[in-house]
Structure 1
Amino acid sequence: MVMAIAVTNDMNKLKAIGVRDSKELSPAGRARLFSILKSTLNYIDYEIIEPRIIDDYVYMNALNILEAEIAIKLINRALSNAALQIVYIDSPDPRPERFRDMVKRGITGNVEVVAMNNADKLIPVVSAASIVAKVIRDSIIKELHREYGDFGSGYPSDPRTTAFLRDWVRNHGDLPPIVRRSWSTVRRLLSNDLDRYLS
């Protein structure tokens, strides 16, 4: 997982260059915008969260806590490098105020925090951050393809990814270290009825 922060003093400029939710853009479109954003944004930063860390938090039923901790880290670093008055966050919690309060408690500076569901669709600077995160993820996936072969997007909804996992488990008896074991797809692969699932 990759989480990113973007800082701008001109949301309209982001709209003008075509910034929108990264999920609505092709990989080439994201890469093109990322190149423009690097010289347009005041500040960019990101964190890469390894699968085993995500799994640890999922098993504790605390994935939102992990996302809050990463958001806090990114915001505090940004506060040391850029002038921030307000921070918009795409909330993973269906109650955004709960996520906002969690993040607010960890921030060292005086900044207003606005957490919203679907902020990546609604707020241009959050869309910009989503593009940064997705481009970094895309580059990581390309590197992993070189090492492991073409396993598709890496999302459990991708048939190529699930086929890769089935073949890998069949040939190696376990998952590669790049996989989140907490995915339901993966749990089925490793369950007692493995043979039935793989047939």
Structure 2
Amino acid sequence: MLIAGVDEAGVGPLAGPVVAGAVILDPGKKRIKGLRDSKLLPAPAREELAAEIRSRALAWAIGVSDVAEIDSLNILHATLLAMSRAVGGLTTAPEVVWIDGLRCPPLDYPTRAIVDGDRLIAEIAAASILAKTTRDAVLVDLDRSYPIYGFARHKGYSTREHLAALATHGPCPAHRRYYAPVIQTRFVF
């Protein structure tokens, strides 16, 4: 059975897009060793696994919802949209789609939401790794445009450094306008 695993990265941060990965592993190939939830892997291991997933998966794709979509739709609907885009980008049609979490986007395939799926299902773990490494690369790029925020270090999460930069400089276009710490800066967009 061709299973597309889907997971996201970037629901909680104050800045940057939400990114979803979709991966169909090749059932005819040997398993990729070391697949697990991206949050349990150090960055160098994630990068190595991401390269291996891209080269060995039967199909993979990334879907993104940008900050404007997050602000207009809300993070839940923007995440489901990114997941739909990822599945829609697959070059091979899955038989089923298994998604990490509690909700599934509307898709043209049978779907199943699996809580902690990134720890249980290889395809979902692979998707989590691609989503996380892709999103991290986007935040490193954003850091070049907005170095005062330190995006390359904290990837947009609500760290002491990030909150201090927000308090001092206000938000930039990469920030999610309706997240409480951004609203609390009281800067005008």
TM range (shorter): 0.7 to 0.9
Rounded to whole Å, the distance in 2 between the matches of 1:163 and 1:154 is 15
Q: Distance in 2 between matches of 1:6 and 1:49?
A: 18
Distance across 2 between alignment mates of 1:9 and 1:179: 38
CA contact (8 A) 2:61 2:87 kept: no
Structure 2 unpaired stretches of 5+:
1-17
Q: Answer whether contact 1:2 1:137 (CA < 8 A) is retained.
A: yes
5 Å-filtered alignment, 1:21-60, equals 21-58=37-74
- Please, which of 23, 31, 42 is the counterpart of residue 6 of structure 1? 23
Q: Secondary structure at the match of 2:20?
A: strand
* Residues 69 and 147 of structure 1, relative CA distance in 2, 3 Å threshold: closer
- Structure 2 length-normalised TM: 0.78
Aligned pairs for 1:1-199 within 5 A: 1-10=18-27, 13-14=30-31, 16-58=32-74, 63-78=75-90, 81-91=91-101, 96=102, 99-100=103-104, 103=105, 106-108=106-108, 111-149=109-147, 150-151=150-151, 152-169=153-170, 175-190=171-186
Gap regions ≥5 residues in structure 1: 170-174, 192-199
Percent identical pairs in the alignment equals 24
What amino acid maps onto 2:95 in structure 1?
Answer: Q
| Structure that is richer in helix per residue | 1
TM-score where L is the length of structure 1: 0.75
Structure number having the greater strand percentage = 2
Runs of 4+ displaced beyond 6 Å? none
| CA-atom RMSD in angstroms | 2.2
Aligned residues: 167
The residue that corresponds to 1:194 in the other structure is none
Q: Note the alpha carbon deviations across 1:129-174, whole angstroms, 9 max, x for none.
A: 11001111111111111221134313343222112212212xxxxx
Structure ID, larger Rg: 1
Specify the alignment match of 1:197 in structure 2: none
